[in-house]
A and B are shown apart, each in its own frame.
Chain A
Amino acid sequence: MKVGQKSVITGFESEDAIIKFLEMGCLPGTEIEMYNVAPMGSPICIKIHDYYLGLRKSEAGQIKVKML
């Protein structure tokens, strides 16, 4: 995903980290927008539920998305 692109969460790669995502509002069906990629490619920052969430690239890789 490039900065400014939007997508919808469809699911998660593994079950372990899922609860943290859910608690932060990353639910299947939620729209996210790529807000920023840190200079070294990680972490990244997404806009979700109208707030900004920074997370490592490896973590973000756990989220499955469908591009809009």
Chain B
Amino acid sequence: MSQTDIYKIALIGNPNCGKSTLFNQLTGLNQKTGNFAGVTVEKKTGICMINEHLKAQIIDMPGTYSIYPKSADEKVVFDVLMHADSKEKINLVIIVVDATNLRRNLLLFTQIYDIGIPVVLALNMIDIAQKQGVEINSEVLRKSFPGIKVVKLNARLGTGVDELKKHISDCYTSHYKFNFQQLVSYDRSTLDFLTQIKKHTGIINDYTALLVAHEHMHMKYIESNLIEKIKYEIAQYGFHSLKIKSHETISRYQKINDIVSKAEQTTLQIEKHKLTKKLDKIFLHPILGYLSMLLIMLVVFQAIFSWATWPMDIIDNSVLVFKKYLHDSLPNGWFLSLITEGVISGLGGIIIFIPQIVLLFTFIYLLEDSGYLARVMYLMDEIMQKFGLNGKSIVPLFSGAACAIPAIMSTRTIANRKEKLITIFIIPLISCSARIPIYTIIIALIVPPIPIFWFVNMQGIAMMCMYLLGFVVALATSWALKVLVKPDEQSYFMLELPDYKMPRFTNILINARHKAYQFISGAGKIIIVVSMFLWFLSTYGPADHFMTKKNKSSDISQTSLRENEVQNLANATNLEASYAGIFGKWIEPAIAPLGFDWKIGIALLTSIAAREVFVGTMATIYSVGNDEDVTTIKQKLSEQTDKKTGRAYYNFARGMSLLIFYAFALQCMSTIAVVKTETGSWKVATIQFIYLTILAYMASFATFQVLAQIIL
């Protein structure tokens, strides 16, 4: 069996049905991620050995309640079932249902059943159902839906997975013909209409034809003349999509009710949701609810910013050691410089954030898996709505404090386009971890460490103010957007609050690892390319200009400086003579009103790859050398004097101006690229970039001008 005709199995089910747990159970670490063709919806696939001979590809589909899509995520499920991409033709569908909530879960099942794709019905969380005193007779289900296979599962523990695999291999070997009977019947006129649709499209199945009639507007893969024909028939027969859908859903529920009341047997009368009710008394309490939410957020923040420091230090040091090793073992020259300063520095700038991202998502998945995250969205929806956002925006905004890239990717669950766009738009205003080094060094420079109380000092307060500033401006921006942008569809918030349960740690770790991978592939490529380009700009300059400066630096070496100081000084002069230096000087008139000189101009340019590069560039410009130690740089910067006044150059006004600039400016290529892919066009990315740049410029301008007047 070749790679192209590998046996393809799709996992489909409602949100919270344990589908991803089953996916991890079947594929382990054998997972790959990509995107579904043409859309940014993430596609998780994995290989599973069904038996010694059969290798199957498992595709984890986004969770959905119905086959009729409401968001980009759900649209993918529809498209895959419609075989939109002939390369992605699936052979078998495993429909995972939550056995404790059979009725609602079976709706999607009966819809997919009616399409006529071979299905295995996996009754997951069967253990919980049994504990609640509910026994499910799978024989009744099998008979009610001729052709299907039924398996009882506890995906968390893996019980039933072997039986599931056996069913899969049976489906494969018997080439089994799926004999199904459609569940819903339609009136004469609808049937005639469907006959016409079938004639035009060549579809045999009634329900598939009906789906095409309902959704043809959103099926880009249908030829346009066929769409015209469908539109014609819709007008001819007065096909009322909404009415037919309601009729269909109601008849399905009626059928399901009949079947479930036969299949389910309540053996014991046990009070259900006991734990959930108890915990909700705290977590949904008007005061305790918000308090505990704050407390949990505080713990997560603490973890991201303090626990993550030691793995980050290890990474930082390893990168330095590796660079040193390369310096010692490779011949000196442009190649060495490209590898160490271009590639390795770029790579280092990415992997340094992995600990924070893994930690953040470990927590987010922990909260999600336990059932708590839905409560946060529930509690926040009303507040978020006032700012044109959705309760579901809270997770992306929260993630933005670590890194904008995974945060923007996690807006996919927001169904409403306007709310999703506003969320994406304001995420870069949330101070991400790449700003920490900049904030740290500048705050250390301009704010004295005066103790306030206990372990908090003025510098800590200043740091917190920077985070608050970003958050407040983010909310103000979204409020303005809410007023400005016209909604194109009705916003809604319908969210299942699942029962609380013990999270599964392997699951969480697999998912967090996956997020880290997503971050590396999303940001990594761009950062490396940009950092190589910036390496070129800061290493080379126009030939003649460059040489005179170089000579100047060798003149200096005649004097009695120590060797490494000579090297540092030479680096600084080289940078000044490079294209980056020329850029810095060229842009100086424009940034002078903000209190910036050409040296800062260079740092503004180089930190486009990633903001934290600012610190390294400042170190080079002020010839601190490779030692990017904060205290050394801080000392060097504080020694700089303003030629006109003779006072310290990095005064309060200038420092504040820099802080404000970095809080607002979209100094991150990867973010721009991710916004482009997530929104599908350059429009939002461009507007966002312009807005944030103007905002940063104006705010810095005002800050510097006002402060420079007050404090002289």
Contacts of B263 in A (CB 8 A): none
A50–B132 Cα distance when bound, in Å, is 12
**CA gap between A35 and B246 in the complex, in Å:** 26
Contact status B378-A23, CB under 8 Å: no
Give chain B residues whose Cβ lies under 8 Å from the Cβ of A28: 250
Determine whether the beta carbon of A56 is less than 8 Å from that of B250: no
B272 within 8 A of A: yes
Verify if A64 is at the interface (C-beta below 8 Å from B).
no
Residues of A within 8 A of B68 (CB): 19, 23
A53 engages B382 (CB within 8 Å): no
Proximity bits, A12-45, B CB within 8 Å = 1, else 0: 0001111110111101100000011011111101
Contact of A18 among B246, B289, B374 (CB under 8 A): B246
Question: Which label, helix, strand, loop or mixed, suits the secondary structure of the B interface?
Answer: helix
Q: Which residues of B contact A56 (CB under 8 A)?
A: 381-382, 385, 492-493
Contact B249 A49 (CB under 8 A): no
B492 neighbours in A (Cβ, 8 Å):
17, 20, 55-56, 59
Q: Which residue of B lies closest to A28 (CB)?
A: B250
Indicate whether B131 reaches chain A with its CB closer than 8 angstroms: no
User: Are B496's CB and A54's CB within 8 A?
Assistant: yes
> In the assembly, what is the distance between CA of A27 and CA of B250, in Å?
7
Our pick among B103, B242, B245, B495 for the contact of A54 (Cβ within 8 Å) is: B495
B191 adjacent to chain A (CB < 8 Å): no
A59 to chain B, nearest CB (A): 6
Neighbouring A residues of B272 by C-beta, 8 Å: 50
Q: Given the complex, which residues of A lie within 8 Å of B496, measured CB to CB?
A: 24, 51-54
B104 within 8 A of A: yes
Contacts of B276 in A (CB 8 A): 52
Which residues of B have CB within 8 Å of A38? 284, 378-379, 381-382
Q: How far does the alpha carbon of A19 sit from the alpha carbon of B280 in the complex, in Å?
A: 29
Contact of B107 among A16, A23, A35, A59 (CB under 8 A): A23
A15-B242, A54-B495 given; A25·B382 CB < 8 A: no
For residue A46, give the distance in angstroms from its CB to the closest CB of chain B. 10
Is A22's CB under 8 angstroms from B246's CB?
yes
| In the complex, chain B residues whose CB is within 8 Å of the CB of A51 | 101, 104, 496, 498
> Is there contact, CB below 8 Å, between B250 and A22?
yes
- Whether A59 contacts B381 by the Cβ 8 Å rule is no
C-alpha spacing A35/B280, complex, angstroms: 10
In the complex, which residues of chain A have a beta carbon less than 8 angstroms from the beta carbon of B101?
Answer: 49-51
B253 CB contacts on chain A under 8 angstroms: 22, 25, 27
Contacts of A16 in B (CB 8 A): 242, 490
Residue of A nearest to B276 (CB): A52
* B65 contacts chain A at the CB level, 8 A cutoff: yes
Interface centre among A25, A49, A51, by most B CB within 10 Å? A51
The chain A residue with its CB closest to the CB of B257 is: A27
Residues on A with beta carbons closer than 8 Å to the beta carbon of B18: none
Contact partners of B687 in chain A: CB under 8 A = none
Q: How far is the CB of B255 from chain A (nearest CB, A)?
A: 12
Question: Roughly how many angstroms separate A23 CA and B104 CA in the complex, as a whole number?
Answer: 8
Q: Are B378 and A43 in contact (CB under 8 A)?
A: yes
B342 at the interface (CB under 8 A from A): no
Instruction: List which B31-79 residues lie within 8 A (CB) of chain A.
Output: 65-66, 68, 70
Contact B381 A23 (CB under 8 A): no
With both chains docked as a complex, state the minimum distance between the C-beta of A53 and any C-beta of chain B, in angstroms: 6
27 A-B pairs with CB atoms under 8 Å apart are: A16-B490, A17-B490, A19-B245, A23-B65, A23-B68, A24-B496, A25-B103, A25-B253, A27-B249, A27-B250, A28-B250, A38-B378, A38-B379, A39-B286, A39-B289, A39-B290, A42-B381, A43-B378, A43-B381, A45-B497, A49-B104, A50-B101, A51-B498, A52-B497, A54-B496, A56-B382, A56-B385
Nearest 7 CB-CB pairings of A with B: A39-B286, A22-B249, A52-B497, A40-B382, A23-B66, A25-B104, A54-B495
With A15-B242, A43-B495 already in contact, 16 other A-B pairs whose C-beta atoms are closer than 8 Å:
A16-B242, A17-B492, A18-B242, A19-B68, A20-B70, A20-B492, A22-B250, A23-B65, A27-B250, A38-B382, A43-B382, A50-B101, A50-B272, A52-B273, A54-B495, A56-B492
